[in-house]
Amino acid sequence: MRTAVIGAGSWGTAVAWLLGGKGVEVMLWAREPEIAEGINEDHRNPMFLKDVAIAPCVTATSDIERAIHGAEAVVIVTPSHGVRGVAEQMSASLERTVPVVNLAKGVEQGSLMRMTQVLEDVLGHRERLAAISGPNHAEEVSKGVPSATVVAAYSENVGRFLQEMFMTPFFRVYTNPDVIGVELGGASKNVVAVAAGMSDGLGYGDNTKATLMTRGLAEMSRLGTHLGANTLTYMGLAGMGDLIVTCTSRHSRNRALGEWVATGGTVDSYAAETHMVAEGAKSAVALDDLAHSIGMELPITHQVRSILYDGHKPSEAGAVLMGRSAADELHGMGLIEDEG
């Protein structure tokens, strides 16, 4: 089969490596022509995951129409703020029956749409859309480290198709019909990971991080269930699993961003230093706005936003969160409607 992978960053490169290792013919789209040239000449990405050898059945191009021509599936692996743009570039020539799966984890600022909603807005035909999310660091997937993920599709047939396409002996793929929960879980866990990184940067301990992760999971599930997600999704790979790895791993951009900011850096200086996108920085704004639009409060998310963009100090945020009114723990777990 022939698959187009749209985006040649770390995760896009890892996906191309994974599919290429199965013998799938992959056309990898890179925004930068020099990346495409490097992959075609050396079978390695010259900028991301430089040590990963990519199979000969993977070729690259900076022409997006060429990338999707004849594709039986399209995998979008750009940052979330780039999803609408690449969808618009594909819209005129992409066949309406071709499955499109998004791997970006975010909510669009302004529209407050999930990524499959953005794709539907541009491409239409919701039944062919899907999302993949889970505890999947590109650095480990590209080395064949045993991992698992979740594919959430509006159509069961599309979900099963993508499950089979991505499944390998070291990359286990589960299906889940809860597209809302899987997408919102992937976006919101990044914000909690930024908070966890701030905790690390301030020198706080394991107790603090465990508290942030647990109450962060409460925020995640409360928002998701209010918008129609299944609470149990947040106990799975796209919820708790992804939250754990993103808050604790040395590979986590979002955790690293939080630590960077807590030790005096900024969002812009982190991006300039690492050439990486930490999705939690944009998601903090979009998710805070989304919560406010439905009359809901997300305390951790709001504090992360305030620190990243409004000049608030991480040390002061801890006092704000710890000083909130006492509440019943279960009220924050999406089991009982409450703002706690």
Question: Per the residue annotation, which of 105, 189, 209, 282 is the catalytic one?
Answer: 189
Whether residue 209 lies in the annotated active site: no
Q: Report phi then psi at 60, rounded to 5.
A: -130, 155
Query: Can you tell me the distance from the alpha carbon of 340 to that of 332, in angstroms, rounded to the nearest whole number?
Result: 5
3-state DSSP assignment of residue 292: helix
Query: Please, what is the end-to-end C-alpha distance for the chain in angstroms?
Result: 49
Residue 107 DSSP code: B
Name the nearest CA neighbour of 138 among 269, 29, 277.
277
List active site positions: 189
